[in-house]
Homo-oligomer: A and B are copies of this chain.
């Protein structure tokens, strides 16, 4: 039995800061791993941009992470996962994993569903207008179980409420109730949080749906996916005993930036380095000139 180890970092990117919920879960689950996070805060949100633009930005984000020698790239961004990832996967030597596919996997993973689920799965999906409109989750779920019923609901107010810090506010509970009462009535067994901001209101969602609905978020889904990936050996874990180093990059620091970082990191403060959006374009240009894979 061979023990392989790979100290190269895990690369995580998002259009903004929401993906920090994914980076944080990975750091907690795999403390020996090195992590490089990129939040393209200068160009957030990706969701309102054309698919062509999103693909370009995603290629730039990936190129930047590859300059840091990562062993795997995680798109912690639903827009990128839905709009760009399927076309990009075959262009890189390192694996790309996106939150849509891994979220759909998690909805069927027995590790996240300790109780036996019936044959008639009914899965709720919430996200931004763009994510829900893309139909990416229903497609991914149908590919795993064509009989599963998917009930989607776009919840565009949840991100602003979370960014305002109103995660336990009565207004947020009222908005959750207004958006999701039909989904509760429909009797879903699983709720997929199709937006990396939403783990911050898991409590309000769990209170609303009660204990019988299993909530799957992108952070859990990615930890599960990495667990399988490390177990299969396609990407070896970092088997060194020292704690890994995490580095965080953003392309802009907007107002209330540091408060949001703390919120997404569960209260932990973070040193975040600034890179220019032009540096991402330059990283992509360099890759293409050198025909690097």
Contacts and interface: CB of A to CB of B under 8 A. Distances in A.
Nearest to A16: B48
Contacts of A256: 129
A118 B166 CA distance: 38
A285 interface: no
Interface string A154-181: 0011011101101001110011001000
User: How many copies of this protein are present in the complex?
Assistant: 2
A160 B50 CA distance: 21
28 contacts: A42-B49, A44-B48, A48-B252, A48-B254, A48-B255, A49-B252, A50-B252, A129-B255, A129-B256, A130-B255, A133-B255, A156-B160, A156-B163, A156-B164, A157-B157, A157-B160, A157-B161, A157-B164, A157-B166, A159-B160, A160-B160, A169-B178, A170-B174, A171-B171, A171-B174, A171-B175, A171-B178, A174-B174
Contacts of A48: 44, 252, 254-255
By Cβ-Cβ distance, the 10 closest A-B pairs, closest first, are A160-B160, A129-B255, A48-B254, A171-B174, A157-B160, A157-B164, A133-B255, A156-B164, A171-B175, A171-B171
A169 B175 CA distance: 10
A239 B48 CA distance: 41
A275 to B, nearest CB: 14
Interface string A33-69: 0000000001010001110000000000000000000
Contacts of A130: 255
Interface string A5-41: 0000000000000000000000000000000000000
Q: Select the residue from A133, A255, A256 with max chain B CB neighbours within 10 A.
A: A255
Contacts of A164: 156-157
Nearest to A129: B255
Contacts of A252: 48-50
Nearest to A166: B157
Interface in A73-119: none
A248 B72 CA distance: 46
A44 B45 CA distance: 10
A170 B130 CA distance: 26
Contacts of A42: 49
Contacts of A163: 156
Contacts of A174: 170-171, 174
A156 B163 CA distance: 9
A169 B171 CA distance: 11
Contacts of A254: 48
A129 B42 CA distance: 16
Contacts of A166: 157
Interface string A169-207: 111001100100000000000000000000000000000
A257 B241 CA distance: 53
